[in-house]
Chains A and B, each alone.
Chain A
Amino acid sequence: MSARPVPLRRTTAGSSAAPAESAPAGTTPAESTPGTSAPDPLRARAAPSLVRTVAALLRKELLVELRTLESVPGMSLFAVTVFVVFHFALNKNAVNGDEAAGILWVTLLLAAVLGINRLFVADAEEGGFDGFLLAPVDRSALLLAKALALLIYLVVLELVAVPAFALLLLEPSLGPALPGLPVVLLLGDLGVAAIGTLVAALAVRTRARDLLGPLLALPLLVPIVIGAARASAPLLTLGHTHGPPLRWLATLAVYDLIFGLIAYAVFDFLLED
């Protein structure tokens, strides 16, 4: 355990700076504009190599997670434990309908908060922010890469947590819910990823980040809980006939879109020093 941080730090700083430094050599005139033009704080600057930057950052993120296994296993284990806690707290062997949707989403959110809290910690402590800021790339790339990484974590978490939920607590079988449930889960995850990344970046360089992260995240996630729980409740009801209510899917999608745009608009300001 004690030998790990040293190679990890090199990965964090090195791979985020390396693609950036090699990128301007290929397309010089367009690449040099973000650095030289007068900074306009409210306009996100478009870098031609955004996709490549995001891909490199995302690769780094997943590599670090694969090597350290810090977030996803913990989140999954936490979710399963919370299901057990719910069983005893509610004194119920099986749940369905609103109750099932509520338990599933509360558990997923709490597990997501664990991942959100850890999302930027390595960058803040091991110099990943400095390495990224030294690179002449669009700062929004970090937001996109982190949000995508969080999205992947959440999908993996759900691949474990939802079957575990079906096994441990859910009364109706999972089969009939399958066409609709992944759509609801994915729409919920998109919102959690956007809000979670923004909140994690806000909280990580404060004195009380472990406290502030969840405190900031949960109120912002309430509309997602409303939409996702209402949309998945009919799917988790015994003998349900139709898919998820479109009204709630649309609400979720609009909320995801708006918060994605807000996060994109304000994220750059968090990375100025």
Chain B
Amino acid sequence: MPAKSLRTLSIATVAVMALALALVFFYAPLEAEQGFLQKIFYVHVPLAIVALCGFVVGGLFAIQYLRTRDPRWDLRSYVTIHMSLIFAVGTLISGSIWAKGSWGHWWVWSEPTLVSFLIVFLLYATYQPLRFAIEDPERQARYAAVFAITAGAFVPMNFIAVRLSTAYLHPRVLGSTSNLPPQMALTFLVSLVAIALLFATLCSYELLAKRTRWQLRALRRRLADEYPLSAPRRGRSAAPAHYEVSA
């Protein structure tokens, strides 16, 4: 992504985030039962939705990588999954805080969203160990793509299975916006857009940083032993550890 549109994206993200926070604190009404605590809903649920979508999109990018064998798709897949993993940690922490506030326990097994997220998180936590345990950059990208596709398909199935196993569904507003009062629904939607924009911005920055690093490394190498400029593609991996290995 060129620097100019990245700047536009960043400004839009900051603006929408500010709007979302303003709506959450000054516009959305206090919920009757939970009061102020319910406002974590505007962070927790968008984080969960964006992380989930990110995992699935990472799988789609991986399919695209296996189709084209273009390392850029592998990089996109890696960055998307990496960022989703961070958002999933945010989901787990915010969900845990919410559970502590409303039920008095940090962990509640009866909440399928939280439990599913833990399983998905545990699975994706092995993505980077798997990647970095493979030396060859081409095989690393290929195996990571196979993992991303498998895990991306696993995400919705896991949610269905965990939801089936839980006796009662989510007790509150979660899940659909149809039963929310319109003010809450609007706030929720703006928060969702804000978190999604935040995700896109962070992904763009990471992609740009990684590409810049590739170019910098290529230039350094050319400077050092007069390599042709076409050489930089040797290091295809998104793995920072790999740079040191192959450079």
Contacts and interface: CB of A to CB of B under 8 A. Distances in A.
Interface string B52-89: 00000000000100110000000000000000000000
A67 to B, nearest CB: 31
Contact of B153 (A41, A222, A258): A258
B238 interface: no
Interface string A52-64: 0000000000000
A202 B142 contact: no
A247 B160 CA distance: 13
A42 B161 contact: no
Contacts of B66: 41-42, 269
B146 A266 contact: yes
Chain B residues touching A, range: 20 to 34
Contacts of B123: 216, 219-220
Contacts, number: 87
A68 interface: no
B164 interface: yes
Interface in A254-268: 255, 258, 262-263, 265-266
Among A206, A247, A251, A272, chain B packs the most CB atoms within 10 A around the CB of A206
B130 interface: yes
Contact of A222 (B119, B139, B145): B119
Contacts of A262: 149-150, 153
Interface in B88-142: 119-120, 122-123, 126, 129-130, 133-136, 138-139, 142
Contacts of A218: 122
B130 A203 contact: yes
Interface stretch (A4-12, A17-25, A174-182, A223-231): A223-231
Mostly, the A contact residues are: helix
A216 B126 contact: yes
Nearest to B139: A273
A13 B44 CA distance: 53
A42 B129 contact: no
Contacts of B157: 223, 255, 258
Interface residues of A, number: 34
Nearest to B116: A222
Contacts of A41: 66-67
A222 B158 contact: yes
B150 A227 contact: no
A202 B146 contact: yes
A262 B156 CA distance: 14
B130 A251 contact: no
Interface string A68-93: 00000000000000000000000000
22 contacts: A41-B66, A42-B63, A203-B130, A205-B134, A209-B133, A212-B129, A216-B147, A219-B120, A220-B150, A222-B158, A223-B157, A223-B161, A226-B165, A227-B161, A230-B165, A247-B164, A251-B164, A262-B150, A262-B153, A270-B146, A272-B139, A273-B138
Interface of A: 41-42, 198, 202-203, 205-209, 211-212, 215-216, 218-220, 222-223, 226-227, 230, 247, 251, 255, 258, 262-263, 265-266, 269-270, 272-273
